[in-house]
Amino acid sequence: MDHTALELIELGAVFFGLGLLGRLAGRIGLSPIPLYLLGGLFFGAGGLVPLSGIEGFTSLAGEVGVVLLLLLLGLEYSAAELVTGLRRSWTAGILDIVLNAAPGAAVALALGWGPVGALVLAGVTYISSSGIVAKVLSDLGRLGNRETPVVLSILVFEDLVMALYLPILTAVLIGVSLVGGLTAVGISVAVLAVVLVVALRYGRFVSALVDSPDREVFLLKVLGAALLVAGFASAMQVSAAVGAFLLGIAISGSTAENATKLLEPLRDLFAAVFFVVFGLNTDPASIPPVLGWAVVLAVSTTLTKLATGWWAARRVGIGSLGRARAGAALVARGEFSIVIAGLAVGYAAVDERLAALATTYVLLMAVIGPVAARVVEPAVRWTRAKRPSTAPAPSAGN
Amino acid sequence: MDRVNVEVTPLPGIGVRKEFAIRGGRRIGVVTHRDGRIELIISKSDDPDACLAELPLTVDEAGALANLLGAPQLVAQLTEEHRDLPGIHTRQIPVGPPFDGRTLGDTALRTRTGVSVVAVMRAGQVHPSPTPDFTLTAGDLMVTVGTSEGLDNAVKILKRG
């Protein structure tokens, strides 16, 4: 068979298989991300059906997937929303970092992966999946709930933290000196501040630059701008993904809405490839040895997210049921944990078991998250009914 | 009239929530999504933080609901003002499909029934003192003033054309 024909067949089989998995995920009310990862594990190295010849395409497409994931994340928020979110939730945001990064860092140190491994795994366990969380909130009809703004502003804070974290991680991974690392941090803080100010004051000019009434022209301009910014950011060693995120923030108003509509299908396609590639590069045989640790992390970081949400919701005077709901909503981890792990995989400073642990962890958390959000309310009511004396009803009740 | 205190909460990445507490303490309001979708929200009675329902509404449905809630108020206000004039009534009359897209002048209400159109309510918005070239849409509510006989005729005309 012709080389190209084989590649097309392989690629077609992968996409078709992902489509079926996505449909299955929709049926059982799950995020498709864990199934995409499983799909990757199934095909790739050490899996049942090794694929060959399409790595060139899939690895670049996976990179584009990361750029689009972050670009759309940036498009979702306006600069004004980010600034208010930051003001309103910084205390909860800091608690979130401390509580949720610590288990990852501790496990990495316990496994002897050193400070770099600790930094990576801390990021993996810290960041909630805003995609899964937003979907769960809207599926469960909780957008009108009082605790929902608390949850959303924590997510906003996390996304901003990521804009600082990714450049730092990139700098640490390529093993720059302390001064070099500080420079990278300095550059990213400065760039982030400049972008926020530009987006707040002159957002419409950035929007006007990429905007076009013609769909095709608009798509090409936005995608081109995103890849250019990501590429230059990468060349400056500030992480391609962050470049795309910042561009997304700078584009605002109706331009951002139209861009989101146009790019969503592309993001879904390329991000799916990214998850598959991550799965492909993970040997399924490497999972059982780290399964225990993944479970430990899953349990501990479920509890820490619950605590974060509980505390943040209590601060704004929300009842105990609402606090539990806010905590459970934040539990899901997904795309960004994989983005962080994907960035780290392949560097000498990072233990090769990291990919397996991150995969297993995200597989668990992407499933536990939505389930936790669903069962938290009945669970709290049930415990309350069981122990009426120890769990007083909320003051605003009845 | 008592003013209600509408609380506006941004929902980053989703849209805006506007709500207020009604006298019983429960919250009622809308979530407006970025793409213009509207959801009506009503809080639960046993858990004020949570919502009993989030009802997605189309623009037309939201408009119809707004008319239902808004028009009686306007009618009540006008009735109050006309109380001293016996024989003069105020009534809200829905615009039927025959006049969808046609002007107020086309209905020739004043000539045929002697009824005056004080305002047109559309999507919860009051359009006061509409001119004869005002374009009507099926589902608009006309706030009209006239004799009860004239008003009965006006109802028939607006329904059947």
**Per-domain residue ranges for chain A?**
78-263+287-380
Q: Which chain B residue's Cα is nearest to A139?
A: B54
Shared domain check, B69 and B26 = no
Shared domain check, B153 and B75 = yes
Shared domain check, B90 and B22 = no
Contact flag B49-A149 (C-beta cutoff 8 Å) = no
- Tell me: domain A78-263+287-380, CATH 1.20.1530.20, correct? yes
Residue A396 touches partner B, C-beta closer than 8 Å? yes
Shared domain check, B116 and B74 = yes
pLDDT computed for residue B1 by the predictor: 46
Mean pLDDT on B27-36: 85
Which residues of chain A are within 8 Å of residue B21 when distances are taken between CB atoms?
none
**Greater confidence, A362 or A88?**
A362
Residue A398 clears pLDDT 70, i.e. is over it = no
Question: Among candidates A321, A313, A311, which has minimal Cα distance to B43?
Answer: A321
Indicate the pLDDT class of residue A390, thresholds 50, 70 and 90. very low
Residue A125 clears pLDDT 90, i.e. is over it = yes
Summarize pLDDT for A157-175 with one digit per residue, the tens. Answer: 898 888 888 888 888 887 7
Total domains present in chain B: 2
Shared domain check, B44 and B16 = yes
- Is residue B2 in some structural domain? no
Contact flag B46-A397 (C-beta cutoff 8 Å) = yes
| CB atoms near residue A51 (< 10 Å) | 20
Summarize pLDDT for A7-27 with one digit per residue, the tens. Answer: 888 888 888 988 898 888 888
Shared domain check, B69 and B45 = no
* Rounded alpha-carbon distances, angstroms, from residue A125 to A30, A99, A104, A170, A332: 20, 10, 6, 18, 10
Which residues of chain A are within 8 Å of residue B39 when distances are taken between CB atoms?
143-144
Q: What is the rounded CA–CA span in Å between residue A183 and residue A255?
A: 33
Residue B77's SS3 state is helix
pLDDT computed for residue A96 by the predictor: 94
pLDDT computed for residue B52 by the predictor: 78
How high is the ipTM of this complex?
A: 0.70
Domain extent for B126: 62-160
Shared domain check, B154 and B82 = yes
Shared domain check, B153 and B82 = yes
Mean pLDDT on A81-91: 81
Contact flag B54-A321 (C-beta cutoff 8 Å) = no
Shared domain check, B130 and B85 = yes
Mean pLDDT on A40-56: 70
Residue A147 touches partner B, C-beta closer than 8 Å? yes
Which residue, among A145, A254, A395, would best test binding to B if mutated, counting the most B CBs under 10 Å from its CB?
A145
Residue B30's SS3 state is strand
Residue A98 clears pLDDT 70, i.e. is over it = yes
Q: How many CA atoms lie within 13 A of A60 on its CB side?
A: 5
pLDDT computed for residue A48 by the predictor: 60
Residue A104 clears pLDDT 90, i.e. is over it = yes
Contact flag A141-B19 (C-beta cutoff 8 Å) = no
Mean pLDDT (chain A) is 84
Which residue, among A137, A146, A315, would best test binding to B if mutated, counting the most B CBs under 10 Å from its CB?
A146
Residue B156 touches partner A, C-beta closer than 8 Å? no
pLDDT computed for residue A394 by the predictor: 45
What residues contact residue A68 under an 8 Å CB cut-off, 6+ apart? Answer: A226, A244, A263, A266, A267, A270, A271
pLDDT computed for residue A397 by the predictor: 37
First to last CA, chain A: 72
Indicate the pLDDT class of residue A393, thresholds 50, 70 and 90. very low
Amino acid at A389: S
- Calculate how close chain B gets to A323, using CA atoms only, in Å: 9
Residue B102: CATH number of its domain: 3.30.70.1450
Which residue, among B47, B51, B55, B57, would best test binding to A if mutated, counting the most A CBs under 10 Å from its CB?
B47
Mean pLDDT on A28-32: 80
**Greater confidence, A395 or A55?**
A55
Contact flag B12-A134 (C-beta cutoff 8 Å) = no
Which residues of chain B are within 8 Å of residue A149 when distances are taken between CB atoms?
9-11, 17
Q: What is the rounded CA–CA span in Å between residue A93 and residue B74?
A: 48
Residue A274 clears pLDDT 70, i.e. is over it = yes
Which residues of chain A are within 8 Å of residue B46 when distances are taken between CB atoms?
397-398
Shared domain check, B82 and B21 = no
**Greater confidence, A61 or A77?**
A61
Summarize pLDDT for A178-222 with one digit per residue, the tens. Answer: 676 677 778 777 877 887 787 777 777 778 888 888 888 999 999
Shared domain check, B136 and B116 = yes
Residue B8's SS3 state is strand
First to last CA, chain B: 38
Shared domain check, B50 and B78 = no
Indicate the pLDDT class of residue A64, thresholds 50, 70 and 90. very high
